[in-house]
Structure 1
């Protein structure tokens, strides 16, 4: 970075000098723009009908702070150019500073947030304080000053006040939203399709504006409301782009219309330039007012739909071929093959009993907030939260579900490191995954309905998750999921069991994936993998004695293998009473 001073400055001094430079630069800009405005719009001799610096000043104060009030004083009083100060200038400058200060202060005090044009309530505050009140004070103090120093007479007082007030209003309505929205949305970039559409918008806008304000219109043509041909472009910008593009359309239209009217061209031409500009300013003001409210309503609807997507996922709507939640009807449904993931915290009931209700919510939200991004990163979406449990769907690829489950378990290991204080036991979760056909749709009544998934596959995924407690493992998948993995060798997998789960009659083959286990446990399970799977096969072939011996060998190497312990207990029970247990059921 280029150093402005050959010596080192403190941060406080650097900030002071930087602010001073910005204040001086804005003072120069204020002086230049106000001078051009007077040159273009002074049709009565003393008061200009064009005053964009009112909106510029409000935007600068609103975004960057009250210190730029100094710039307004310097620009109004021409102090930068050492011109003598007139008494009326001092009063006018004081009125402008006070009016702008009050407008920004009241808006900062009452507006919900800095999104000034994204809420109808904020727009109302902007219109009342920045447009009406600020312009009222500025116009009243200004014209009173001119009258007090005999610059205007009583007969022209009202006309000058009206011109001043209207110029300030339109200046704030056109310029302030343009600067504020561009400051808030400067980081938003167009993709290629949006760029082509934006070019089309502004080219067609320019052509239409030239047809209306770029050439003389006959009396018969001027009788038609030609100016309203501009409205479709504003609506186009609102619905297809955003606030900054919409305000750019308004700004371009205003510039073209003002210059056209000054050149005595367009539908607003009246016998005098003064009357023409006042009529044009009134039209621009109404258009801006309508646009600001429409922008706020669209923004609120967009935010509402974004908020609703936190309850009804976008993916759910896309599967139903709906663009918005307002398009969803009772009974809409579709059938898809997906992988269903269920997860649940082990021993949550005992954990929650030791916490207050507020601690319970804090705990659950802290846990779920770590799990949800992992599911999204792996192209899944959460269908619902059931207390501490999660039901997630993965529509594209089985591997996404498995990788998400592994990521969730690894994130839990990291989370447990932060919970390793006395009185805060480490968490354990179980995850079950099954793949099958699902019916997604809406159920309920006309006044209350909900999106849901109906399928035997959902029940099986839930049963699979519950079996992780039985075997003391973290992640189980079914045969249907295993068969659809792109390459099972990419994971640490072992055959675990063939069981008849509750509510089913057919055997379900289960596999354990232990990629997220602790390194030592992974090493021991890898070492005993062959013996463990041979033992499982022997057990299900009713070779109980062989299975017993193999499970004992596994436990000699890995005493913490809970699944082998479960099997060994079954073998002992079967050997004591061969008729009491069917080794192929669980």
Structure 2
């Protein structure tokens, strides 16, 4: 969609009539497209040629966006941000189409300017603020929020993994039938401006048909090896990686992990974040209101028990029972919290309750998706850590502490 459509979207979210000050804050999928080595690339063009090239490229992206609910938002020359308010699948398809177009783009500029372009793409789903700023004579659309640097970090990192397209766990888990796509888990990274680690996934749908087939045929072996590595079981990881590389010898990421295994064993240190992270109660999580703190302790203990069952390779039935057990307690705990909020006329009750509903829906999704199958062990671990563990910690540290301050304040 074009700029006019973006303004129309913002007007739907506002009561303002003037373009300046239009804004929206909501969850969106952000697509970040970056020209690698832009300074070197731009040196091959005269100034007018560079501007003409960028305008032509933006027109190409706009044509790719036709029929998709995406907004071309900002362009710095070397990077472009596209927003998708509703569909992460549209964002994924747009990223793939942009990469596919790079082949014909290179054919064109190689003939005319004797150079080529390389593009890195990042995709993340999260909360952003979008709005129009400026003066009556000059207006600009800006995108703000932690989700923006996370997305750009993915686009930048794609080069380090010798791939073109990296997506975050939030984007991956919001895709329809993600496990059926040519996408694989590749690493855990620390994101900018955050203490948390997130899982990142490699989209290889633009590789050659032979590579796509080979990677998909052996994806389970690859992900098992990576799971062992991040669980600090290096010998098992190394053995599986060697088996995998016999079948897919040119896989850069598998070679990278084999090197990590050997380096880690030599140095006897483990630099990467691991999947054996425990979620434990500490005073840091206390809101200093005993009825809620006691239930938080129990909730954390049950989530830890669920993770242990999965890591120990327990069967589908036992995992399913633990999920049911956790779900029952979560409903009980949230009900207690909500009764306390109503009793004391808590002003942020509705907002707080909506967060509870999000957690319950996610837990229900995990249970009904039957992710307890052995070949889904990695995805179950990642999803629980991403969507449940991180949610609990963030919810307690921000939303529940806000409630605790209210309950502990003098009347």
TM category (shorter chain) comes to 0.5 to 0.7
Is the Cα contact below 8 Å between 1:313 and 1:381 reproduced in 2? no
Partners of 1:355 and 1:442 in 2: how far apart? 32
Q: Equivalent of 2:56, from 345, 366, 374?
A: 366
- Give runs of aligned pairs for residues 293-332 of structure 1, distance below 5 A: 312-321=3-12, 327-330=18-21, 332=22
Partners of 2:135 and 2:112 in 1: how far apart? 49
TM-score (norm 2): 0.60
- Give runs of aligned pairs for residues 32-43 of structure 1, distance below 5 A: none
Counterpart residue number, 2:344: none
Q: Equivalent of 1:537, from 227, 252, 266?
A: 227
Q: Equivalent of 2:165, from 454, 475, 478?
A: 475
- Give runs of aligned pairs for residues 29-68 of structure 1, distance below 5 A: none
SS at match of 2:160: helix
1:34-54 CA distances to partner (integer Å, 9 max, x unpaired)? xxxxxxxxxxxxxxxxxxxxx
Shift, 1:403, TM fit: 1.0
Shift, 1:523, TM fit: 2.1
Determine whether 1:559 maps to 2:249: yes
Partners of 1:329 and 1:416 in 2: how far apart? 39
Partners of 2:189 and 2:13 in 1: how far apart? 40
Distance 1:518-1:462 versus aligned 2 partners, 3 A rule = same
Partners of 1:544 and 1:422 in 2: how far apart? 50
SS at match of 2:271: coil
Partners of 1:538 and 1:381 in 2: how far apart? 40
Partners of 1:450 and 1:346 in 2: how far apart? 25
Partners of 1:559 and 1:425 in 2: how far apart? 30
Counterpart residue number, 1:95: none
Determine whether 1:380 maps to 2:70: yes
Q: Equivalent of 2:218, from 528, 551, 557?
A: 528
Is the Cα contact below 8 Å between 1:496 and 1:536 reproduced in 2? yes
Distance 1:420-1:530 versus aligned 2 partners, 3 A rule = farther
Determine whether 1:398 maps to 2:91: no
Shift, 1:345, TM fit: 1.6
Shift, 1:583, TM fit: 5.1
Counterpart residue number, 1:442: 132
SS at match of 2:232: coil
Determine whether 1:416 maps to 2:106: yes
Counterpart residue number, 1:338: 28
- Give runs of aligned pairs for residues 176-191 of structure 1, distance below 5 A: none
Counterpart residue number, 1:487: 177
Distance 1:454-1:550 versus aligned 2 partners, 3 A rule = same
Determine whether 1:347 maps to 2:37: yes
Counterpart residue number, 1:579: 269
Partners of 2:112 and 2:9 in 1: how far apart? 47
SS at match of 1:415: helix
SS at match of 2:250: coil
- Give runs of aligned pairs for residues 147-166 of structure 1, distance below 5 A: none
Higher helix share: 1
SS at match of 2:120: strand
Is the Cα contact below 8 Å between 2:124 and 2:168 reproduced in 1? yes
Distance 1:322-1:539 versus aligned 2 partners, 3 A rule = closer
Higher strand share: 2
Distance 1:580-1:476 versus aligned 2 partners, 3 A rule = closer
Shift, 1:325, TM fit: 9.9
Is the Cα contact below 8 Å between 1:320 and 1:334 reproduced in 2? no
Counterpart residue number, 1:550: 240
Distance 1:548-1:348 versus aligned 2 partners, 3 A rule = farther
1:338-383 CA distances to partner (integer Å, 9 max, x unpaired)? 1100011222222222333233233333333322211233221111
Is the Cα contact below 8 Å between 1:535 and 1:547 reproduced in 2? yes
- Give runs of aligned pairs for residues 122-201 of structure 1, distance below 5 A: none
Larger Rg: 1
Is the Cα contact below 8 Å between 1:478 and 1:511 reproduced in 2? yes
Partners of 1:439 and 1:579 in 2: how far apart? 40
Give the superposed CA RMSD. Answer: 2.9
Shift, 1:389, TM fit: 1.3
Counterpart residue number, 1:278: none
Distance 1:444-1:329 versus aligned 2 partners, 3 A rule = closer
Counterpart residue number, 2:144: 454
SS at match of 1:377: coil
Counterpart residue number, 2:307: none
* Unmatched runs of 5 consecutive residues or more in structure 1: 1-308
1:399-442 CA distances to partner (integer Å, 9 max, x unpaired)? 11111111111122233344554973443211111111222223
1:40-96 CA distances to partner (integer Å, 9 max, x unpaired)? xxxxxxxxxxxxxxxxxxxxxxxxxxxxxxxxxxxxxxxxxxxxxxxxxxxxxxxxx
Partners of 2:135 and 2:55 in 1: how far apart? 30
TM-score (norm 1): 0.43
Partners of 2:141 and 2:52 in 1: how far apart? 26
1:126-183 CA distances to partner (integer Å, 9 max, x unpaired)? xxxxxxxxxxxxxxxxxxxxxxxxxxxxxxxxxxxxxxxxxxxxxxxxxxxxxxxxxx
